[in-house]
Amino acid sequence: MTHGTGNLSGADFPRAALPLLADDRLRRNLRHATGTIRAKRAAVVGEVDDWEELREAGRAIKAHTMRHLPELLERFEEAAAAAGATVHWARDATEACAIIGDLIAATGESEVVKVKSMATQEIGLNEALEARGITAVETDLAELIVQLAGDTPSHILVPAIHKNRGEIRDLFRAAMPGAQDVSDEPADLAAAARRHLREKFLSAKVAVSGANFAVAETGTLVVVESEGNGRMCLTLPETLISLVGVEKIVPSFADLEVFLRLLPRSSTGERMNPYTSMWTGVADGPSAVHIVLLDNGRSAVLADEVGRQALHCIRCSACLNVCPVYERTGGHAYGSVYPGPIGAILSPQLTGVAANRSLPFASTLCGACYEVCPVKIDIPRVLVHLRQEAPKSPVERAAMRAMSWVMRDPRRYARALRAAALPLRRRRTLRRAPWPLSAWTAARDLPLPAAKSFRERWKEGV
Amino acid sequence: MSAREEILARLRGALDGAAEAPAPPRPVVDARAQGDPELMAGRLRDYKAVVHRAGPGELAAVLGGVLAGVGVLAVPPDLPEAWLSAHSGRVLRDPDVAALDTVDAVLTGAAVAVAETGTIVLDAGPAQGRRALTLVPDRHVCVLFTRQIAPGVAQALARLRPTAPLTWISGPSATSDIELSRVEGVHGPRRLDVVIAEY
Ligand code: SF4
C-alpha cells in the first residue's frame, strides 16, 4: 500500500489546538461564520422534499463508482483524450507537482492564475512552483486573503473563515496595491478584489484548476464556484491544467443531477451556486487542455473496507460547519489541508494512520457530521475504526481518551480551555497543561508551536 | 511501470475481493417537461437578478427598454437582428476580450433554464456565443424563452449536450467568503437581467 505525501499532517492535534483554543477572536469569528451557514443550509435543505432520497442516491452512486474506479478512470481518459485533452497520471504529490511544473515551464510563462482547488493545496503546488520561479496567483477571494496574509487555509470552502471583515480590510489596505482606502463592507472588499485581479485574468496565458466532478462517460470536467474567477481561469487563458483526484469520477452525465442538487445546498446554503462550468477537452476556451489524475494515497484509502467511504466526499464542508470541535479550534489545529470531521478521517488514511495518529481522536463522536453529510459518509464509524488502528503507547492512549472525554461536553471543554489559556499567555513553552489536558502533555515535553511554524512544516512536507 | 499502470494496479489491488456495489436505479426523466415561469422569475429575483417579462411579439420592445442607456453592447455573431430593432446604441458583434472589457453590456439568448433553482444554462449554441462573451462584461442581459424552462436539474441535464461548453448561471457573480454571507458582484457580471419571453 502506498500512502500520500504533501500537506496532510502537522503537529499532533491536541498540541496544535492549545494555542488556538486560547484565541478568543478566532473562536468568535468561527462561531459567527458557522452559525450563519448552518441556518442557511437548514433553510434550503428543508425546501427539498426528497432530500433523504437524494442523499441515498449520492451515497449509492459514489459507492458504485469506487467499486468500479479503475474501469471508470480508463473510460474518462479515453473520452477526454478523444475530445482533445491530454491526460497525465501522478502517483503522489511530488510527481503531480513535477508534471504541472513541467507543463507550465514548457509554455515559457512565469505566472499562472489559479482557481481554488483542494488537490493543489494537498500537493503543495504553489510552493513547488515557487521553487521553479513560477508565481501562482490565487484568484478565489478567500484564497487571495490567505495568500496575501501569508497564512494557511482553515476551511475547505472558505479558507479565510478564521478572519473577520475588519481583519480582511486591514490586510487589503496593507497588501493590495490601490486598496488603501477600502472599507470593511463585504461589497467593497469584493470590489477591491475585482479590480486587483482583472488585469491578471485578461493577460494570463496559463491557468491551473481542480475539478469537482469528472464524468467518465463523456470526459467532462465540472467546476462549481461563485465569483466568476473560475470561469475566467477556465475560459480566457491558452493553456488549462486541471488536477483531479481519482475519486472525483462520476459514471454518467445524468448522475450530475444528484450532486448539483446536493452540493450547493450543503456548502454555501444556496439553491444553486452562481456559476458552474462544464467542459470536455478542447472547447471554445483554452487550446491546450491538460488533466492530471492524482492518486497520492487514494488507492490506500480504497483498500480499507470501512474507511473507503471517505473517498465519497464532495468537499461541501457541511461537516465542518456543524462540528463542535472544529468550531472551537478552527482548521489549523488539524495540520492538514483537510480539516474538520472529514479531515479527521481522510488525512490519516491518505498518509497512513502512523503519520497522523491524533486526528481520529479529534472528535466527540456526536454524530452531527453524519447527519448533514450529503453523501452519508458515516464519519463517526470510520473514526472509531481508525482509533483502533492508531499505534499508541498506553500513556498516549490514556491522553487521547482524556482529550475525547473533555471534548464531549461543551462546559467541560470551556473549563479546560480557560485553564489551558492562562499559562499559555505567559510562556512560550508548555511543560504541563492543567488537568485534564495534562494527560496529554504528560506524555511529552511540548514546545508550543508558533502560528508560523505551521506553514514551515507544510513546506517541508512537499 | 508507468504511473498510469501503477495507479490502476494499485486501485485494482485495493478492490480485490470487494463486494459489488450496484448502481442506484436511474429515475426516468421527461426531458420535455416544462418548468413554471413564475417560479423561475421568483428564484431569479431571490438571487438579485432583474427580471423582465415579454409577451408574444413584445421581445424587441422590451429589450429596447432594458437596454436604454447602454452605449456599447456586445452580442454573439448570430444574435437575431430582430431582437435589436428597438435598440439605438452601438453594437459590437463577437468582440475580442480586450474590447469586451470596455462594453456596457452583453446580450445573449440561453439554452435551457432550471425553474427550481433559478438557473440559466448557456451551451455556446444559437444566440449565445463563446463563453468569454458573457463573462467579461459587467452586465449580462439574457433572453430566456418560456419553452426553454425545465422544472428541475434532471430535466435540464437531459436537454443538454454533455460535451458542449456549458455555463450554469444563478444570479450575478457573488461570494460567500467574508463571514460566510453572500455578497453580489465579484469577477463575473455584477448585474444580470433576464427577459422571460413568451414564444
Ligand atoms: S464528509 Fe460529507 S459533509 Fe463533510 S465535506 Fe465531505 S461531503 Fe461534505
Domain boundary among A298, A333, A352: A298
Q: Phi, psi (5° rounding) for residue A319?
A: -70, -30
Q: Cα of A63 to ligand 1 centre, how many Å? A: 15
Q: What is the pTM of this model?
A: 0.89
The three cell numbers of residue A1 are 500500500
The C-alpha atoms of residue A340 and residue A408 are separated, in whole angstroms, by: 15
Q: Which of residues 284-313 of A touch B (CB under 8 A)?
A: 284-285, 293, 295, 299-300, 302-303, 305, 308
The C-alpha atoms of residue A395 and residue A256 are separated, in whole angstroms, by: 48
> In this predicted model, what pLDDT tens digit does every residue of A177-223 receive, in sequence order?
888 889 998 888 888 888 889 989 999 999 999 999 999 999 999 99
- For chain A, the average pLDDT equals 85
| Residue (of A273, A259, A179) closest to A231 by Cα position | A273
The C-alpha atoms of residue B29 and residue A305 are separated, in whole angstroms, by: 34
Give the strand order in the sheet containing A111-114.
A86-90, A288-294, A239-245, A206-209, A111-114, A135-138
Does residue A292 sit within a domain? yes
Does residue A401 sit within a domain? yes
SS3 content of chain B, % helix, strand, coil (to 5): 25, 25, 50
Averaged pLDDT in 10-residue chunks for chain B of 199 residues: 97 96 89 96 95 97 97 98 96 96 97 98 97 95 98 98 97 80 83 94
**B108 touching chain A per CB within 8 A:** no
Q: Residue A19: enclosing H or E segment and its boundaries?
A: helix A13-21
Cis ω for the linkage preceding A159 (within 30 of 0): no
Using 50, 70 and 90 to split pLDDT, how confident is the model at A408? Answer: low
Domain boundary among A242, A275, A298: A298
Judged against a pLDDT cut of 60, whether residue A436 lies above it is answered with: no
Q: Is the CB of A342 under 6 A from ligand 1?
A: yes
Give the pLDDT score at B108.
Answer: 98
Q: How far is CA B10 from the centre of its chain?
A: 40
The three cell numbers of residue B70 are 447602454
Q: Is B41 exposed, middle or buried (0-12, 13-18, 19+ CB in 10 A)?
A: buried
Q: Assess whether A125 and A246 both reside in one domain.
A: yes
The C-alpha atoms of residue A180 and residue B76 are separated, in whole angstroms, by: 39
| Interface mutation vs chain B, best among A29, A92, A271, A293, most B CBs within 10 Å | A271
A190·B97 Cβ contact <8 A? no
Q: Say how many domains are in chain A.
A: 2
Q: Which of residues 210-269 of A touch B (CB under 8 A)?
A: 215, 217-220, 226-229, 231-232, 234-236, 246, 251, 253-254, 256-257, 260-261, 268
The C-alpha atoms of residue B66 and residue B106 are separated, in whole angstroms, by: 12
Q: Is the dihedral of CA B173, B174, B177, B180 positive or negative?
A: negative
The three cell numbers of residue B93 are 458583434
Is the CATH number 3.40.50.620 carried by domain B32-197? no
Compute the C-alpha angle A233/A238/A240, nearest 5°: 55
Q: Assess whether A19 and A164 both reside in one domain.
A: yes
Give the pLDDT score at A17.
Answer: 74
Which of A383-387, A454-458, B39-43 has the lowest average pLDDT?
A: A454-458
The range of the structural domain enclosing residue A412 comes to: 394-460
Q: Phi, psi (5° rounding) for residue A455?
A: -65, -40
Does residue A353 sit within a domain? no
What is the residue extent of each domain of chain B? 32-197
Domain boundary among A240, A263, A298: A298
Please report how many Cα atoms fall inside a 13 Å half-sphere around the Cα of residue A223, on the Cβ side: 30
The answer to whether B170 touches B137, Cβ cutoff 8 Å, is no
Q: Is B20 exposed, middle or buried (0-12, 13-18, 19+ CB in 10 A)?
A: exposed
Q: Assess whether A283 and A409 both reside in one domain.
A: no
Residue located via cell numbers 475547505: A156
> In this predicted model, what pLDDT tens digit does every residue of A4-28 receive, in sequence order?
888 888 777 777 777 766 777 777 8
Does residue A285 sit within a domain? yes
Does residue A105 sit within a domain? yes
Q: For the domain that residue A170 is a member of, what is the CATH number? A: 3.40.50.10420
Complex ipTM value:
0.96
Cα-trace Rg, chain A: 21
